Amino acid sequence: MHQYTKYIVLGLLAACSQPQQPTSTEVTPIQPKYVTDTVNFDSDDPAIWIHPTDPSQSLILGTDKRENAEGGVFVFDLKGKEDSTRRITGIDRPNNVDIAYGFRLDSTRTVDVAVFSERGKNSIRVFSLPDMQAIDGGGIPVFEDSPSRDVMGVALYKRAADDSLFAIVSRKGENSPAEGYLYQYALEMQDSTVVGRLVRKFGKFSGGAGEIEAIAVDHQLGYVYYSDELFGIRKYYVDPAMGNEELAVFGTDGFTEDREGITIYQSSDTTGYIMISDQQADAFRVFPREGSNGNPHDHQFIKSLPVSTHESDGSEVSHVAFNEDFPKGFFVAMSDNKTFQIYDWRDLEKVLVATDEK
């Protein structure tokens, strides 16, 4: 070997033996404060129940997706430890779950409720909180007039004017319509059982190989958002009395592939962040809740938050001061290793508001 060539080879070998430093394009994922105990099969979507008098005793609910009545809903404390005495079992492929407060049972009684989809039975389920007892007579059928009945997403809206509770549901994309993709049901008591009454069909769908699962409601501002997975985020009025006009479409670019879970962090009554799972990038893309440029429907991209969750489908967030761990709230997101990861909001906020390096 030529002496000069020998030096080059030795130099290359020495370089290869040195620890590799991250390149300027690599990012460090935000790490969770806690990770929940594992579910049995397939974690899918979380929700947060806030205790009425002691936020530190709040609960995290998470669906465990599985067919043939082997699925369920797990219940965790704020450190991710499961309370197996509250677990709901015997559910045929649950997908999404949401929570509402003060649902009226009769003239004198109210109860908090968890509502989740049961795809295998083309139904949504209603359970009381925090005791996790069914109050729906076995399920509320949905999409009864459609060939596409495989219910997936669910989000709840309680109308402040009259305390009416509504469930907005989505389904698998196959055979689904380009208009009227979402169905909205009023949840009402009838003979001591919760029933659903269809009040509207709304929402566009881009079609193709995608579908719509993730739905989120902004109760204070009166909007509903959903992920048209391969197209963008769509925005409508959540009150059926306000009509079916599409108010905005955003997030049509920048995503690696699927747009998934949506969650809304409330900084004040009118400001905050809309967070969308960029599923294949293991990140959440963030948009302003209040809009921008004086337009409440102009949701311009702010920043992408890299997280340690993998292929996240569903998420939830709250701004409530829960305890010393979470004085500004927390964010919880599904990861595809049968867990839900719990993040201190301050850790996300630190990255979100940091000045980008030039």
Please name the residue that has the structure tokens 């030529």: 2
Average pLDDT over residues 15-20: 48
165's tokens: 């509770």
Lowest mean pLDDT among 11-20, 149-158, 179-188, 205-214: 11-20
CA 346 remoteness from chain centre: 19
The encoded tokens of residue 177 equal 């319509």
The single-letter DSSP state of residue 106 is: S
pLDDT confidence bin for 355, thresholds 50/70/90: low
CA-closest candidate to residue 207, choices 181, 168, 182: 181
Asked if the model's pLDDT at residue 15 lies above 60, the reply is: no
> How high does pLDDT run on average in the chain?
92
Domain ranges of the chain: 42-260+288-301
pLDDT, tens digit (0-9, with 9 covering 90-100), for 190-227: 999 999 999 999 999 999 889 999 999 999 999 999 99
Banded model confidence at residue 36, pLDDT cuts 50, 70, 90? very high
pLDDT beyond 90 at 230: yes
Structure tokens at 89: 């079992």
- Over residues 274-302, the mean pLDDT reads 97
If you average pLDDT over residues 304-332, what whole number do you get?
A: 97
Residue 311, token pair as written in the block:
């292929």
- Provide the sign of the torsion angle of the four alpha carbons 206, 207, 210, 212, taken in this order: positive
62 neighbors 39 (Cβ within 8 angstroms) = yes
How confident is the model at residue 357, as a pLDDT? 43
Q: How confident is the model at residue 11, as a pLDDT?
A: 46
Give the separation between CA 238 and CA 157, rounded to whole angstroms: 7
pLDDT digits (tens, 9 = 90+) for 67-119: 999 999 999 999 999 999 999 999 999 999 999 999 999 989 999 999 999 99
Whether 23 has a pLDDT exceeding 60, the answer reads no
| DSSP per-residue string spanning 135-183 | -STT-EE--TTSS---EEEEEEEE-TTT--EEEEEEE-STT--SEEEEE
Structure tokens belonging to residue 171: 């389904």
CATH architecture, domain defined by 42-260+288-301: 6 Propeller (2.120)
Residue 12 has pLDDT above 50, yes or no: no
Residue 1 or 265, more confident:
265
* Structure confidence at residue 193 (pLDDT): 97
pTM for the whole thing?
A: 0.91
With a pLDDT cut of 70, the percent of the chain lying above it is: 92
> What is the distance between the alpha carbons of residues 341 and 43, in angstroms, rounded to a whole number?
11
